[in-house]
Structure formats: structure tokens, C-alpha cells
Amino acid sequence: MPWEKTFDVQETLEKAMNAFWARGYEATSVQDLVESTGLNRGSLYATYGDKHALFLAALRRYDRWLREELLQRIEADHGPRDAVRRLLLLFRAETARPGGSSGCFLTNTALELAPHDPQVRGVVATAQTAMEQWFARMISKGQAAGEIPEHVRPSEAARGLLATLIGLAVLARSRPEPPLVDDIVEDAMRRLE
């Protein structure tokens, strides 16, 4: 008779994601994963494979959440220009969290693993490209709505906004100073004038 899972696979993946997000890949031991998920090693290995495969699954889960939930919600709730501002300002809220910010899981991973792990680099690059495309789409929609001037070039401005977003993700961990974040967001938004 096949082995049946008696736990929620997605919930467990989210718990593992939070462990990796808090500590990074290298600093998260299999024992940390056992403790954070509440599963034994055998169940983790049988379900996800090895630590690296679990990490990739967690990273993809974060990317799906970011794109399918967060970006869609921001886009649905705000006009294009305000959607860009809202996304950037999320890092303002992160800097004010008690206990500090964990930053962005994708950006943390880009810094830790992407230079020497082709699989991770692929996930991070795909996510960054999708984010860049989202910014370009918001700019184009903003131009069509008259919120952003026609002289702004969507693809170039989107790359600048992506760089700003990544920079904010790093600053949220290293210099969580709300006035600094506010100044950076306002500078980025001036590029859309």
C-alpha cells in the first residue's frame, strides 16, 4: 500500500520557506527544517527530495506568492502609477516591523546562491524578469490612462524600478531607516514624471 501524507504539503512548504528566508540556505540545517515544519527527516525527504530541492520548491512558492497574489492585488486595487508606488512602499512598512525585516527572499537568495547555483539563478532571473515586465506594463497602462508622460520609455524605466526595488530589499535589512526608504521611493517615482 502506498505511503499517504498526513500533513498539508503546501503549509509545510511555507514553513520551510520561512526558515530559509530567516536564515538563508547555508545556515538552515536539515534539523532546523525538521523543527520548523514539525516533520521528521524521512517525511521531508520522501516529499521534497533533498534540502536543495526543498529550497527550490520554497523559492518558487515565494515567487508565485509575489507575482500571483501580491502584484495582482496591488494592480487590482490601484491605478498604474499608484501601484508602482505601493509596491515600492511595501519596503517602508517592512523597515518598521518589530524585530526588523527579513528583506526579500528572492533578493536574499540572489546574493547568497545565484552566483554559484545555476538552478537558483534561473528561478531568481525568471522572477526578476517578471517583475521588470510588471513595471513596464504598469508604465504602459499609466501612459494610456494619462498618469505617466509619453516620453517615459517603459522598458528603460522598468529596469530602473527593478534596480530600485532590489536596492530597497537590501536596505530593508541593512539600513532600515524610513526616511531613507521614502527618499528612494520618491526619487524612483520622479523618473515617471
**Residue 153 maps to a domain:** yes
- Find the domain containing 78 and state its range: 60-191
**Residue 185 maps to a domain:** yes
Q: For Cα atoms 183, 187, 192, give the angle at the middle one, nearest 5 degrees.
A: 145
**Residue 106 maps to a domain:** yes
Residue reference for cell 520554497: 58
Question: Which pLDDT score, from 0 to 100, does residue 102 have?
Answer: 77
The pLDDT confidence band at residue 167, using thresholds 50, 70 and 90, is: very high
What is the rounded CA–CA span in Å between residue 83 and residue 72? Answer: 10
Of the candidates 138, 115, 128, 144, the one whose C-alpha atom is nearest the C-alpha of residue 191 is: 138
Residue reference for cell 536596492: 167
User: Are the CB atoms for 107 and 59 separated by under 8 Å?
Assistant: no
Residue 2 has pLDDT above 50, yes or no: no
pLDDT digits (tens, 9 = 90+) for 96-127: 666 667 788 999 999 999 999 999 999 999 99
pLDDT digits (tens, 9 = 90+) for 55-107: 999 999 999 998 888 999 999 999 999 999 999 998 777 666 666 677 889 99
Query: Could you say which DSSP state residue 49 is in?
Result: -
Question: How much is the mean pLDDT over the chain?
Answer: 90
pLDDT digits (tens, 9 = 90+) for 19-52: 999 999 999 999 999 999 988 888 888 888 899 9
The number of folded domains in the chain is: 1
**Residue 77 maps to a domain:** yes
Q: How many CB atoms lie within 10 A of CB 11?
A: 11
**Residue 72 maps to a domain:** yes
What nine digits make up the cell of 87? 509596491
Q: What is the pTM of this model?
A: 0.88
**Residue 156 maps to a domain:** yes
User: Are the CB atoms for 1 and 14 separated by under 8 Å?
Assistant: no
Question: Which pLDDT score, from 0 to 100, does residue 99 have?
Answer: 64
Residues sharing a CB contact under 8 Å with residue 28, sequence separation 6 or more, in sequence order: 19, 20, 51
**Residue 66 maps to a domain:** yes
- CATH number at 105 reads 1.10.357.10
**Residue 46 maps to a domain:** no
Looking at residues 137-143, what average pLDDT do you find? 98
